[in-house]
Structure 1
């Protein structure tokens, strides 16, 4: 019984598909509708392609700008780091000179007292 029902079901589905195909392709109105549908699909595809290209172009511009900004920040950080190192070196030298002067002064006072 199930086999007979399956065969009947497949036959009805085939008949329906054939009817739809004949309506779409067998009549002038059906071909017009199919052509309009094809045109609509083509327009949608072109629109998607254009949007994708525009999006990729914008993303590329943003990536380039971000790269430039990162390079600028890297350069600024390097310059500030070098400036800080020079300043620390200068302060260290000044500290060493003060300490040396204090040692010399203390040595002179010690020699005077002796």
Structure 2
């Protein structure tokens, strides 16, 4: 969808937040998995960092309605797009990424991305 520099310091954080904005966790499933994780002495946030596949294989996720998705993804782009890398001092989004982000937002706005 949007290509960003793999060397930028914010790439991983942006990718994870973009994933979480696009695919919202079912709260009932999250509660059940959280209870299990607590029973083994850990929590959701820690396990999502160490072993996200374990959690993501055990929960349902959905893509929110267009209005909700547009708002969260737009805010994410505005927050991370201009974020400068500490080393290169370049923003996360270059000109091509900003152009792609506009197309992504338009597809979201038109309802082509959300679950029905």
| TM-score > 0.5 by shorter chain | no
Higher relative contact order (CA 8 A, sep 6+): 2
- Greater helix proportion: 1
- TM-score normalised by L of structure 2: 0.22
